[in-house]
Amino acid sequence: MLKLPVYLDHNATTPCDPRVVEAMMPYFTQQFGNASSRTHSFGWQAEEAVEQAREQTAKLIGAEPKEIIFTSGATESDNLAIKGVFENYASKGNHIITVVTEHKAVLDTCKHIEKKGAEITYLGVNADGLINLTELEAAIKPKTVLIAIMYANNETGIIQPIKEIGALAKKHGILFFTDATQAVGKIHVDVNKDGIDMLALSAHKFYGPKGTGAIYLRRKNPRVKLAAQLDGGGHERGVRSGTLNVPGIVGLGKAAELAMEEMKNEAKRISILRDKLEEAFLRLGRTMVNGSRINRLPHVSNISFGELEGQSLMMSFHKDIAVSSGSACTSASMEPSYVLKAHGLSDELAHSSIRFSVGRFTTNEEIDYAIQTVTKAVMNKRELVRNILE
């Protein structure tokens, strides 16, 4: 039996995998210790669980356990990376390069430090959503201390040329930070092969719990040093004070282990579902896929529905299908997606877009239902538009 609504918004968040919940459970009740308690077994057990999760998380991105610092999620990791580098490397320079299609956690952090004397270059993207490497290299100055470019975009799933960016950063002796929140656990990410110095990830984007994430900090060639943003007990090598969220961290570790084991087959399965959905919408005509269809996560499809308004189209089926539109409600007005605008889309086309993101528990039956429902809604809306025009 099909259960409604069908959830196709996995880039916003994912359900916790029941195996993750099961792993977390004991750490709320019996094994509730503070991982910093050194004087009894409650503390030792908690610490052991945290260290196991550190290993599981590190393994997923090809890092060493010591290079993983637990945080409350990717927003915190993004803040920590950018503000931490800006403050710690102030004597070297104040220039940071990023991209206009970054997540708000990166863009707003950059805006914040601009007021404190940082100089930020915001690179644009082409119609595919990709940066230009020549432009990136040309933007580098003697005072550049950081390149902050996301691994994969949350709205479109577009994957940037990370390995090439990493090589450029290395060549110029600049740190490279990537917000890999959408990529980790979905595609193979390797901090060494990709030349990444810092990386942000978040458990709830790959079937782990909300409110738990990590930042990867390279310890060798180069050794990254960040100015901490929270003062306190000096947890996590002094980079992130605060009593560790042991159950959350255990959940992150378990989610990482599951992703490691299942990512490859899962990506294959859900990319077939995504393609089926996408092809059905393309057959409707006057629809288009936003961004590169090659350099893209396997489970995401961002579609513009031509003359139709995405928000109102979505509202006509939101009781049955949960998705996101390419507009963001900002208090009173409806702003078209800045990501799609950066691709060169008109306000109208950006407004007409909807993001579909498939996940681990999405079934073929759900995809068939989504195709039927959205197709019907598009037909109805087009009929309405035609009647108004006649």
Ligand X SMILES: *Cc1c(COP(=O)(O)O)cnc(C)c1O
Provide the annotated active-site residues: 329
Name which of 107 and 140 has its Cβ closer to ligand X. 107
User: Nearest 10 degrees: CA dihedral of 377, 205, 195, 238?
Assistant: 150
Q: Could you say whether residue 33 binds ligand X (CB under 6 A)?
A: no
Query: Of 51-59, 62-70, 174-182, 343-351, which part binds ligand X (CB under 6 A)?
Result: 174-182
Kindly state whether residue 9 participates in binding ligand X, applying the rule CB under 6 A.
Answer: no
**Per CB under 6 A, 291 contacts ligand X:** no
Residue 74 or 198 with smaller CB distance to ligand X: 74
Q: Residue 108 Cβ, how far from ligand X at the closest point, in Å?
A: 11
Q: Which CB contacts under 8 angstroms, 24+ apart, belong to 369-374? A: 369/2, 369/6, 369/320, 369/321, 370/6, 370/8, 370/277, 370/321, 371/276, 371/277, 371/280, 371/281, 373/317, 373/320, 373/321, 374/281, 374/317, 374/321
Query: Which of 325/373 has CB closer to ligand X?
Result: 325
Among residues 20, 105, 342, 374, the one that binds ligand X under rule CB under 6 A: 105
* Shorter beta-carbon distance to ligand X: residue 341 or 382: 341
- Whole-number minimum distance, CB 299 to ligand X, in Å? 13
Instruction: Determine, following the binding rule CB under 6 A, whether residue 125 of this chain makes contact with ligand X.
Output: no
Q: Is 150 in the site for ligand X (CB under 6 A)?
A: yes
351 binds ligand X (CB under 6 A): no
Taking the complex as a whole, how short is the minimal distance between the CB of residue 160 and ligand X, in angstroms? 12
Residue 154 contacts ligand X per CB under 6 A: yes
Q: Choose, by CB under 6 A, the member of 94, 101, 202, 324 that binds ligand X.
A: 202
> Judged by CB under 6 A, does residue 343 bind ligand X?
no
Q: Does 79 bind ligand X (CB under 6 A)?
A: no
**181 interacts with ligand X by CB under 6 A:** yes
β-strand partners of 322: 7
Q: How many residues bind ligand X (CB under 6 A)?
A: 13
Which residue of 33, 213, 253, 298 would you call a contact of ligand X, by CB under 6 A?
213
Q: Which residue ranges make up the site for ligand X (CB under 6 A)?
A: 73-75, 103, 105, 150, 154, 179, 181-182, 202, 205, 213
